[in-house]
């Protein structure tokens, strides 16, 4: 439904955004507001103004308009009203934490049931034409060893994580289960299209001061010296949070966008990340200088919340992600990791 805005003097589009108070979501919301969209921000608790006041300030200074709606992934039907009249939904809300008590209740239920809840709201509305879902490369692959064991030279959008479970890598399991549920729902209707974004590990400055995303925790741990005696020899894809936001908007606006999109500027080891930070900031932080031996991680990994099986199947294995589709079809331009990490550290210093 297009709404004529007196403020901007033009027709505008209404987008329902879930997870807009999060690390990635705040950047998506900011960019939508800057582009003049009407953003229906679904928040869990309107009284927590600290989670969205800065987005209201951004809205005041820009063409777009911010509306606040209350909804929770675990309250069935709570997105229905906000979806009525929205032309698209960007569904990003899902817990991204490795500090959980109960993997089913804390990760899998909000991810899977929450996705069903939001997509059912799309089904009930007559206005929604597109849903952009934030999945993850965790829905593409599980343990890093899976690439070598499957005889692959790289992971592409064709692959789905088969090795994670509620007991082993439950966050990754929550993402693959939620994305599969989304494709099932999408296939059984004809009113809206599903476009999926599969970011690798997201880095870069945070607009949100309340996010507990593992992206932020990882950098906090790194800078505070948690890994100073040795970094795990783990490979990840890395992508800038601002590029992830752009990808969501390209997926929303590009009529031809379809299917899944792996996002990564490059794959790199934890020590490569450390070296980039050291090159920029010298010896200001207690950064590791070498890899922690695998057998030490097998014995001591529990201190960092990682299991023996995780160490066995992930430490020391190569990883390659094919990102051609994001560049050629989505037309995403990636920021170099060096810039991403520099901006993230500077922003964390600024926010103390």
CB 140 within 8 A of CB 198: yes
Q: Give the C-alpha distances (Å, rounded to integers) separating 61 from 23, 170, 192, 333.
A: 21, 40, 32, 26
What's the CA gap between 315 and 341, in Å, rounded? 23
Q: What angle do CA 294, 141, 246 make, to 5 degrees?
A: 115
Q: Rule CB under 6 A: is residue 202 a binding residue for ligand NDP?
A: yes
Residue span binding ligand NDP (CB under 6 A) among the ranges 121-129, 162-170, 180-188, 197-205 = 197-205
Beta strand 193-199 pairing with 65-70: unpaired
Output 3 or 74, the one with its CB closest to ligand NDP. 74
Q: Rule CB under 6 A: is residue 27 a binding residue for ligand NDP?
A: no
Q: Rule CB under 6 A: is residue 204 a binding residue for ligand NDP?
A: no
Residue 185: which residues within 8 A CB-CB, separation 6 or more? 116, 119, 120, 123
- The correct pick among 142, 199, 204, 269 for binding ligand NDP (CB under 6 A) is 199
- The correct pick among 17, 82, 92, 223 for binding ligand NDP (CB under 6 A) is 92
Short-list 217, 235, 219, 221, CA closest to 147: 235
Q: Is 175 among the residues known to form the active site?
A: yes
Q: What would the two tokens of residue 114 be? A: 């929450």
Q: Rule CB under 6 A: is residue 163 a binding residue for ligand NDP?
A: no
Output 62 or 211, the one with its CB closest to ligand NDP. 211
CB 92 within 8 A of CB 22: yes
Least separation in angstroms between CB 110 and ligand NDP: 5
Least separation in angstroms between CB 283 and ligand NDP: 27
Give φ, ψ of 274 to 5 degrees: -60, -45
Q: Which residue is nearest to ligand NDP (CB)?
A: 22
Least separation in angstroms between CB 42 and ligand NDP: 7
What's the CA gap between 179 and 112, in Å, rounded? 8
Output 144 or 215, the one with its CB closest to ligand NDP. 215
Size of the site for ligand NDP (CB under 6 A): 28
Least separation in angstroms between CB 238 and ligand NDP: 9
- DSSP calls for 153-179: SSB-TT----S--SSSSHHHHHHHHHH
Q: Rule CB under 6 A: is residue 74 a binding residue for ligand NDP?
A: yes
What's the CA gap between 349 and 352, in Å, rounded? 5
- The correct pick among 14, 164, 211, 314 for binding ligand NDP (CB under 6 A) is 211
Contact track, ligand NDP, 308-337, x by CB under 6 A: ------------------------------
Which listed residue (13, 175, 325, 342) is catalytic?
175
- The correct pick among 95, 142, 204, 237 for binding ligand NDP (CB under 6 A) is 95
Q: Rule CB under 6 A: is residue 44 a binding residue for ligand NDP?
A: yes
- The correct pick among 15, 17, 24, 264 for binding ligand NDP (CB under 6 A) is 24
Strand partners for 262: 198
> Torsion-angle region of residue 104: left (phi > 0), alpha (psi -120 to 50) or beta?
alpha
Active centre residues (catalytic)? 175
Interface residues toward ligand NDP, by CB under 6 A: 19, 21-25, 44, 51, 72-74, 92-96, 110, 134, 136, 175, 199, 201-202, 210-213, 215
């Amino acid at each position: 439904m297009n709404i004529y805005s007196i403020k901007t003097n033009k027709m505008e589009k209404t987008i329902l955004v879930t997870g807009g108070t999060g690390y990635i979501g705040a950047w998506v919301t900011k960019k939508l507001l800057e582009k003049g969209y009407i953003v229906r921000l679904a928040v869990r608790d309107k009284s927590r103004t600290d989670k969205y006041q800065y987005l209201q300030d951004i809205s005041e200074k820009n063409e777009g308009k911010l509306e606040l709606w209350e909804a929770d992934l675990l309250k069935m039907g709570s997105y229905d009203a906000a979806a009525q009249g929205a032309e698209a939904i960007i569904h990003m809300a899902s817990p991204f934490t490795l500090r959980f008590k109960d993997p089913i209740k804390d990760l899998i239920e909000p991810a899977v049931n929450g996705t069903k809840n939001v997509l059912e709201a799309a089904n009930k509305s007559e206005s929604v034409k597109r849903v952009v879902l934030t999945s993850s490369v965790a829905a593409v692959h599980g343990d890093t060893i899976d690439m070598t064991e499957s005889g692959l030279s790289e992971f592409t959008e064709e692959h789905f994580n088969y090795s994670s479970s509620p007991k082993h890598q439950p966050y990754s399991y929550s993402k693959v289960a939620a994305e599969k549920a989304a494709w099932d729902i999408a296939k059984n209707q004809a009113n809206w299209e599903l476009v999926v974004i599969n970011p690798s590990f997201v880095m870069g400055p945070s607009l949100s001061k309340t996010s507990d995303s593992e992206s932020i925790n990882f950098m906090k741990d790194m800078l505070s010296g948690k890994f100073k005696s040795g970094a795990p020899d783990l490979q990840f894809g890395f992508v800038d949070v601002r590029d992830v936001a752009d990808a969501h908007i390209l997926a929303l606006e590009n009529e031809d966008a379809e299917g899944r999109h792996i996002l990564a500027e490059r794959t790199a080891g934890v020590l490569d990340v450390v070296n980039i930070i050291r090159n920029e900031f010298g010896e200001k932080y207690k950064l590791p200088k070498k890899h922690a031996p695998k057998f030490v991680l097998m014995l001591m990994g529990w201190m960092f919340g990682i299991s023996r099986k995780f160490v066995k199947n992930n430490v020391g294995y190569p990883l390659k992600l094919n990102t051609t589709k994001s560049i050629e079809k989505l037309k995403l331009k990636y920021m170099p990791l060096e810039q991403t990490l520099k901006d993230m550290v500077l922003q964390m210093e600024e926010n103390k």
